[in-house]
Amino acid sequence: MYDVVVIGSGPAGYVSAIRASQLGLKTACIEKELNNEEKPLLGGTCLNVGCIPSKALLDSSHRYHDAKENLKSHGIGISKVDLDIAEMMDRKNSIVKKLTDGISGLFIGNKVQSISGEGKVISEGKVEVTYANKSTEIIETKHIIIATGSSPIEIGSAKFDKANIIDSTGALELNKVPKTLGVIGAGVIGLELGSVWARLGSKVTVIEAMDDFLPMTDKDISKETFKEFINQGLDIKLGCKLVASKKTKSGVEITYENSEGSVDMNFDKLVVAVGRSPNSYNVFEENSGINIDAKGFINVDDHCQTELNNVWAIGDVVRGPMLAHKGSEEGIVVAERIAGKHAEMNYDLVPSVIYTHPEIAWVGKNEKELTEEGIDYKIGKFPFAASGRALAVDQSTGFVKLISDAKTDTILGVHVFGPSAAEIVQQALISMEFGASSEDLGLTIFSHPTVSEALHEAALSVSNQAIHIGNRKR
Ligand code: FAD
Ligand code: NAI
């Protein structure tokens, strides 16, 4: 009999299992994917086919592009820059392996029992495991945590064929640079993986159904980033809905519709990245008392408790942003609540990052949200073009925008497009967790020269005290 059985070993599940075990709970984690040695492949989407491999390729492709295009003004001449995709993929794969093997080590070190098989909640306290040889076993446990994650959405107008029409996983594994690459969806995956292949030499066209670009970001970010991606050579077609696709000799022909009619385009490869859907099918017995919403997310309360006693659900399989750190934090909160601790998750301060170059990152509210909520606010903004460090490192595109409450000056949102945007937002987020005002950040000493000084200046700029902006009027 276990205290806790976790189903799924992604960043939500494995973190939760480790925390539960740290707290003295007898814990097992069930994972259905197998690695080459027929052991459970731990780490979920994030480590195997998500966050980590995509960031490895973003880094490699950035270095290649930089070496080819951006070193001349530094006085560095390189006569020929070669591209070895196989080597690039090997590097990515070895990082993934190191990290996934690392979780096996963490499970052993933390006494988490790793179980290889497919888990299904039968009823309160009972999980059925189906092993690779199809045999089954019922495991008994006081608590169950469902952390089964999500999968790419497949659309009827472009069904995945693992050859020419591929999902994000396929886009992380191409063995040569396609001359032309179509990407359906100008979301996070479309932009990150579209950037990877564009930097490596593909002519990338991104087709997006919505008229607005990155509608979840602040309007200034959306405007500036769109211009920058077009500048970088991504052909982004907004307001264009994919309606059909067919295989051709050399790749794929697609048809999209926009306000002017219907257009055909041909690509060597097509990546479909139109969102992900929760893996809630077949993870619990029908009539068990667990329910899903219209989009397939498992219903949970504010503390990730499902409608069935002592059964919890965390990560991509429940409401909220599909982000690794959101799932991990939910995993910790749930493990602690099971152990009788008082733990809460602050959903207002979950940061978002798009790892393009420059990065895009934000936390808290944007202008549109505050206006809709009727909250008066003040804005401070600072461009990286006025940052000494940003200029020195050749990354002066973008800005930091800080929004604070008009009455209390409490920081309500920070939106960054530029160098180290993710790290800058993280600094702002820490201050926001402690209820900081723009004045508090303004009174904080920042090292010089750092790109973070742009956050300092944006905070000062809320009260017109920024030192390095000429025009005080906003
Ligand atoms: P998952 O990571 O999906 O893990 C679920 C696990 O459960 C899987 O291993 C699966 O095999 C297993 N499983 C499913 N059903 C069963 C079952 N019945 N029995 C046993 N095991 C089961 N997020 C970020 O925060 N930052 C990023 O930079 C980022 N980059 C991304 C890049 C890409 C290309 C993609 C696709 C995603 C990215 N994400 C990123 C999103 C991130 O990967 C997910 O939010 C995160 O992995 C969700 O964690 P999870 O544990 O809920 O689910
Ligand atoms: P997404 O939701 O970010 O973007 C999908 C886009 O596709 C939307 O803009 C949508 O309007 C568009 N779309 C939908 N149907 C379409 C159609 N028929 N034709 C044209 N466009 C269409 O989803 P994405 O990029 O697949 O990513 C899935 C999730 O993975 C994200 O929600 C994100 O949370 C996570 N992720 C996070 C990353 C990060 O944190 N850096 C990186 C990659 C993924």
Class of domain 165-274: alpha beta
Q: Is the pLDDT of residue 51 over 80?
A: yes
Strands (E), 91-225: 113-116, 118-123, 126-130, 136-146, 150-152, 165-166, 180-184, 203-207
Question: Whole-prediction pTM value?
Answer: 0.97
- What are 239-284's pLDDT values in tens digits? 999 999 999 999 999 999 999 999 999 999 999 999 999 999 999 9
Contact criterion met (CB below 8 Å) for 186 and 197: no
Find out whether the peptide bond into 178 is cis, omega within 30 degrees of 0.
Answer: no
One fold for both 2-152+277-348 and 358-461? no
- What are 299-337's pLDDT values in tens digits? 999 999 999 999 999 999 999 999 999 999 999 999 999
Q: Which of 45, 104, 167, 319 to mutate to test the pocket of ligand 1 (most atoms within 8 A of CB)?
A: 45
Q: Which two tokens stand for residue 347?
A: 């959903």
Class of domain 358-461: alpha beta
Tell me how far the alpha carbon of residue 49 lies from the centroid of ligand 1, in angstroms. Answer: 8
Tell me how far the alpha carbon of residue 292 lies from the centroid of ligand 2, in angstroms. Answer: 21
Query: Using a 6 Å cutoff on CB, does residue 268 contact ligand 1?
Result: no
Q: Which of 51, 58, 188 to mutate to test the pocket of ligand 2 (most atoms within 8 A of CB)?
A: 188
Q: How far apart are CA 272 and CA 165, in angstroms?
A: 7
Q: How far apart are CA 325 and CA 299, in angstroms?
A: 20
- Classify the phi-psi angles of 391: left when phi > 0, otherwise alpha if psi is within -120 to 50, otherwise beta: alpha
Q: How far apart are CA 306 and CA 298, in angstroms?
A: 7
- Classify the phi-psi angles of 451: left when phi > 0, otherwise alpha if psi is within -120 to 50, otherwise beta: alpha
Average pLDDT for 177-192:
98
Query: Within 10 A of 437 (CB to CB), how many other CB atoms are there?
Result: 18
* Nearest ligand to the C-alpha atom of residue 149: 1
- CATH fold of 2-152+277-348 reads FAD/NAD(P)-binding domain (3.50.50)
Q: Are strands 252-258 and 126-130 parallel, antiparallel or unpaired?
A: unpaired
pLDDT of residue 473: 52
Give the mean pLDDT of the chain: 97
Tell me how far the alpha carbon of residue 36 lies from the centroid of ligand 1, in angstroms. Answer: 19
Q: What percent of the chain has pLDDT over 70?
A: 99
Contact criterion met (CB below 8 Å) for 2 and 26: yes
SS3 41: coil
Q: Is the pLDDT of residue 210 over 60?
A: yes
For the chain, domain boundaries: 2-152+277-348, 165-274, 358-461
- What are 220-245's pLDDT values in tens digits? 999 999 999 999 999 999 999 999 99
Q: What is the DSSP string of 361-401?
A: EEEE--HHHHHHTT--EEEEEEEGGG-HHHHHTT----EEE
Q: Is the pLDDT of residue 291 over 60?
A: yes
Q: Is the pLDDT of residue 138 over 60?
A: yes
Tell me how far the alpha carbon of residue 278 lies from the centroid of ligand 1, in angstroms. Answer: 10
Q: Is the pLDDT of residue 472 over 80?
A: no
Atom of ligand 1 nearest to the CA of 331: 51
- What are 410-460's pLDDT values in tens digits? 999 999 999 999 999 999 999 999 999 999 999 999 999 999 999 999 999
**289: exposed, middle or buried (Cβ count in 10 Å: 0-12, 13-18, 19+):** middle
Whether residue 448 lies in the annotated active site: yes
Using 50, 70 and 90 to split pLDDT, how confident is the model at 37? confident
CA dihedral sign, ordered 96, 17, 11, 110: negative
Contact criterion met (CB below 8 Å) for 132 and 38: yes
Q: Is the pLDDT of residue 206 over 70?
A: yes
